[in-house]
Amino acid sequence: MATAAPSIGTIGRGAGRKLPTLLLILTILSLLGVAIGLYMALGVSGRDLEQGDIQRIFHIHMTAFFGSFIAYGATTLGGILYLRTRQPRWDTLALAGVEVGLALSLINIATGSIWARPIWNTWWNWDPRLTSAAVMILTYAAYLMLRAGIDNVEQRRRFAAVYGMFAIATVVLTMIIPRIVPSSIHPVVIGPVFNGTEAFVQGDFELAATPGVGMTLAFHFLVWTLLLPITLLWHRIRLEDDAERVRALKAQALE
């Protein structure tokens, strides 16, 4: 008696998979963290004396960028480990890092534009920091185009690994450019910045100047720079594993 072919919803180990307990906990904590962070940014952090309420968006704007740095760092790590071991799981990590990093980078760009409209009287200008951020996003978007344009699996993974290792340079450049380029008008929130002569001066954002800012910013760093990127990476890896099983089943059915 013939056995019925499995449907896509019941393929392999992906059938009805429950979230691992730790991932479920991380997901709940991420959702709660984003919600609590928004409340803190709007209700706990004080109103900036110079820029007003629009400065509250910097809690998300800045920490989303550092979250993308973590994700892109995972891409670099995945590429290095794939070239060393040739294990597909590291290529999956690299791919997940690019997609999560792009999502967080777009949040960074969008919130930055919202801030710029009342402060700079424009949604966008070609400041060195903004230009480097745009180049960074386009660089990682090209990573996805590279993968889509190579049919051979091993060749695709190898090329993507090398590309991802070098692409991290755009992230580092975006991070440091407002600190070393005197013509940049993008604010340096924390830490030293080159003043155009021979000295470094303190950034524009003093945590002690506005009540609640330091605590709110620290909480957003915990959520947007650590908790959220790790959770999204894990979800994306699971999704890619399921997609890989579907592709394997399709290949078997076509043989």
CA 109 and chain centroid, separation: 11
pLDDT band at 197 (very low <50, low <70, confident <90, very high): very low
192: which strand partners? Answer: 202
Look at residue 96 and tell me if it is in a domain: yes
pLDDT digits (tens, 9 = 90+) for 76-130: 999 999 999 999 999 999 999 999 999 999 999 999 999 989 888 999 888 888 8
At residue 66, the pLDDT reads 94
| Confidence class for position 8, pLDDT limits 50, 70, 90 | very low
Asked whether residue 195 is assigned to any structural domain, the reply reads yes
- Asked if residue 28 belongs to a domain, the reply is yes
231 near 239, Cβ under 8 Å?
Answer: no
Assess if residue 193 is contained within a domain: yes
Q: Is residue 192 part of a domain?
A: yes
Q: How confident is the model at residue 207 (pLDDT cuts 50, 70, 90)?
A: low
CB 55 within 8 A of CB 39: no
C-beta separation of 227 from 86 below 8 A = no
> Residue 16: is its pLDDT beyond 90?
no
CATH number at residue 226: 1.20.120
Number of structural domains found in the chain: 1
State how far the Cα of 175 lies from the Cα of 97, in Å rounded to an integer: 18
Matching residue, tokens 């013509």: 183
91 φ/ψ angles, rounded to the nearest 5 degrees: -65, -40
> CA 204 to CA 58: how far, in whole Å?
12
pLDDT at 12: 37
Cβ count within 10 A of residue 225: 20
Instruction: Please indicate, yes or no, if residue 138 is contained in any of the structural domains.
Output: yes
Give me the pLDDT at residue 176, please. Answer: 86
- Which range has the worst mean pLDDT, 5-19, 45-59, 101-115, 183-197? 5-19
Q: Which of 6-15, 100-109, 207-216 has maximum average pLDDT?
A: 100-109
Domain membership of residue 109 (yes or no) is: yes
Q: What is the pLDDT of residues 166-182, one digit of tens each?
A: 999 999 999 888 777 77
Q: For residue 83, what are the domain limits?
A: 21-249
Q: Is residue 7 part of a domain?
A: no
* Percent of all residues in the chain with a pLDDT value above 90, rounded to a whole number: 58
